[in-house]
């Protein structure tokens, strides 16, 4: 005889509860259209909360930069792991309410970005 157990409804997942969620922005530092969006998708798939993506001030950046905005440089490790690249610098700015800013360089442009996927 089969019995059915009533399943308890799943609790809603609330971002920021449980493990610490990294909060970042992604800025395109190249002239490659859509690169910030593609990098934001990659980071979100790895559980990193991208609150903004768009164009940066520069359009000639060769290498991706991970700029730590609060805390210590350990916040850059999961970002670098997700992207497979990134030079880490520290420019603390608590007004931004971000853990880090990612300024995307040509090293993540199509043709190189796909090669870094785990």
93, part of any domain:
yes
- The CATH number linked to 100 is 3.30.70
88, part of any domain:
yes
Q: Are strands 23-28 and 87-90 parallel, antiparallel or unpaired?
A: unpaired
Using alpha carbons, list the distances in angstroms from residue 32 to 3, 53, 74, 90, 108.
Answer: 58, 14, 29, 26, 10
- Over residues 92-102, the pLDDT tens digits come to 998 999 999 99
Q: Is the pLDDT of residue 6 over 90?
A: no
55, part of any domain:
yes
- Over residues 48-92, the pLDDT tens digits come to 999 999 999 989 999 999 999 998 889 999 999 999 999 999 999
User: 53: how many CB neighbours lie within 10 A of its CB?
Assistant: 22
Mention every residue, 6+ apart, whose C-beta is less than 8 A from residue 115: none
Show the domain range for 109.
Answer: 23-116
- Over residues 11-49, the pLDDT tens digits come to 544 445 556 789 999 999 999 999 999 999 999 999 999
Q: Please give the tally of structural domains in the chain.
A: 1
Q: Is the pLDDT of residue 1 over 60?
A: no
**How far apart (Å, rounded) are the C-alpha atoms in residues 101 and 91?**
10
Using alpha carbons, list the distances in angstroms from residue 103 to 50, 59, 81, 93.
Answer: 13, 10, 15, 15
pLDDT at 22: 94
């Amino acid at each position: 005889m089969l019995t059915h157990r009533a399943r308890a409804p799943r609790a809603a997942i609330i971002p920021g509860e449980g493990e610490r969620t990294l909060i970042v922005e992604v800025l395109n530092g190249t002239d490659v259209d859509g690169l910030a969006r593609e990098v934001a998708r990659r980071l979100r798939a790895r559980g990193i909360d991208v609150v903004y993506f768009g164009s940066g001030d520069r359009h000639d950046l060769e290498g991706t930069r991970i700029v730590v905005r609060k805390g210590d440089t350990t916040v850059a490790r999961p970002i670098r792991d997700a992207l497979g690249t990134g030079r880490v610098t520290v420019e603390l700015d608590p007004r931004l309410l971000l853990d880090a800013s990612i300024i995307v360089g040509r090293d993540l442009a199509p043709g190189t970005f796909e090669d870094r996927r785990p």
